[in-house]
Homo-oligomer: A and B are copies of this chain.
Amino acid sequence: MTATSPKRVTISDVARRAGVSPSAVSHAFNGRPNVSETTAARIRAAADELNWRPNYASRKVSGQGGRSLGLVIARSRDTFGRDPFFMRLLAGLTEPLADLGWSLSLTLVQADEEEQVYRQWWGEQRVDAFLLVDVRHDDPRLPLVEQLGAPAVLLGAPVDDAVPAVTVADESAFATVLEHLGGLGHRRVARVTDAPGLAHTRARDQRFSHAGAQQGIATSFAAWDPTADDPVAELLARLGGVTAIVVDSESIAAQIVAHAPEVGVQVPAQLSVVAWEDSWVSSLVRPRLTALDAPVEESARTAVALLERLVRGEAAESQTVSGRRLVVRDSTAPAPRSPSQHHRDPDRDSEEAP
């Protein structure tokens, strides 16, 4: 019944109730050794009774900053919404942040407003650090956060020494995939990508080619074209003699296995499909997707730890988390005997490896 509506309770109220000075309360709540345990207990009791907690804004004003992480996602509602990775990321960030007493400020922006939002949030001191996702080649956000002096960590391959990265160890991922596919008799495998601008794309392309070369598997590339009338049909038509694909996005892989039979391609009988990234969606579609699971939650936890260090002014080095693993389900099977493709003539739209 303590009506808190008229006036919010402040540190002085707590001090008065505990019979001490405001600074004593501050000391007690900041773990300073300047206050006896007995008075500290009395102070905590008073604060509890009054339901008081140090005002977040006030402590920031007085220099005790650093409790809010900004996550700015430059995606359309649609491409955000259909990427289960983000759900895992958000859920994964939340726990380590809570452990630190941080909160997460989230927003979606259009690409052309992106820098503006970083500037604004940092300028307003609304956030104390940024987590960068979907890092593109020559991403303007890297020089930007440096210029602003904002602590930042990126998810993905390291790009710039000034911005530490949390990377999922991928060196052997393609080797594992191609080993799996090779063992099933596949000799021509394509990598399907959708977002060519992303910074990690090139590195992955190279690793893919490299792993193929090592295992005697011919590798090629195909771009997903979301603007096509029927992107799946369009993609499949371009595949040439390829008998297996590794798709850089789980939701695209899911669309492919769901729709392929309807355009005359049986998965996995005629075409094997592997998804890069895993989530509940992979076990939802039929055939269930063979997928490369990534330790998203651990990446999130690592990123938060790095960020926290940066905010405290310590140096932070890029980190690698391992744990990517191939989850074999039903979308991969032995290669078809005849390498002839699916009711379509050879196409040379798919380029060879660099």
Binding site for B on A (CB under 8 A): 3-5, 8, 51-58, 60-61, 65, 67-68, 77-78, 80-82, 84, 86-88, 90-92, 94-95, 97-98, 103-109, 117, 119-121, 123-126, 147-149, 251, 254-255, 258, 279-281, 284-286, 297
Query: Is the Cβ of B104 less than 8 Å from the Cβ of A280?
Result: no
| B-side contacts of A68, CB under 8 Å | 105
A-B contact pairs, 9 of them (CB 8 A): A56-B124, A57-B60, A57-B125, A61-B61, A67-B126, A77-B92, A80-B90, A98-B109, A103-B121
Query: Is the Cβ of B279 less than 8 Å from the Cβ of A81?
Result: yes
| B-side contacts of A149, CB under 8 Å | 3-5
Query: Is the Cβ of B57 less than 8 Å from the Cβ of A284?
Result: no
Pick the contact of A284 from B109, B119, B126, B284 — CB < 8 Å?
B284
| B-side contacts of A255, CB under 8 Å | 284
| B-side contacts of A61, CB under 8 Å | 55, 57-58, 61
Query: Is the Cβ of B98 less than 8 Å from the Cβ of A53?
Result: no
Query: Is the Cβ of A52 less than 8 Å from the Cβ of B104?
Result: no
Q: A53-B120, A84-B81, A258-B286 are in contact. Are A90 and B106 (CB under 8 A)?
A: yes
Query: Is the Cβ of B77 less than 8 Å from the Cβ of A91?
Result: yes
| B-side contacts of A125, CB under 8 Å | 8, 55-57
Query: Is the Cβ of B119 less than 8 Å from the Cβ of A94?
Result: no
CA distance A304 to B61 in the complex (A): 27
Q: Chain A: interface secondary structure?
A: helix
Pick the contact of A82 from B67, B98, B107, B280 — CB < 8 Å?
B280
Query: Is the Cβ of A51 less than 8 Å from the Cβ of B91?
Result: no
| B-side contacts of A147, CB under 8 Å | 4
Query: Is the Cβ of B92 less than 8 Å from the Cβ of A97?
Result: no
**Residue in chain B with minimal CB distance to A286:** B258
| B-side contacts of A53, CB under 8 Å | 119-120, 123-124
Query: Is the Cβ of B91 less than 8 Å from the Cβ of A81?
Result: yes
**Residue in chain B with minimal CB distance to A91:** B77
Pick the contact of A104 from B3, B107, B281 — CB < 8 Å?
B107
| B-side contacts of A107, CB under 8 Å | 94, 97-98, 103-104
14 extra A-B contacts, CB within 8 A, seeds A57-B125, A81-B279, A258-B285: A51-B119, A77-B92, A80-B91, A81-B84, A81-B87, A81-B88, A81-B91, A81-B280, A86-B87, A91-B108, A95-B108, A97-B107, A103-B121, A104-B106
Query: Is the Cβ of A254 less than 8 Å from the Cβ of B124?
Result: no
**Residue in chain B with minimal CB distance to A83:** B87
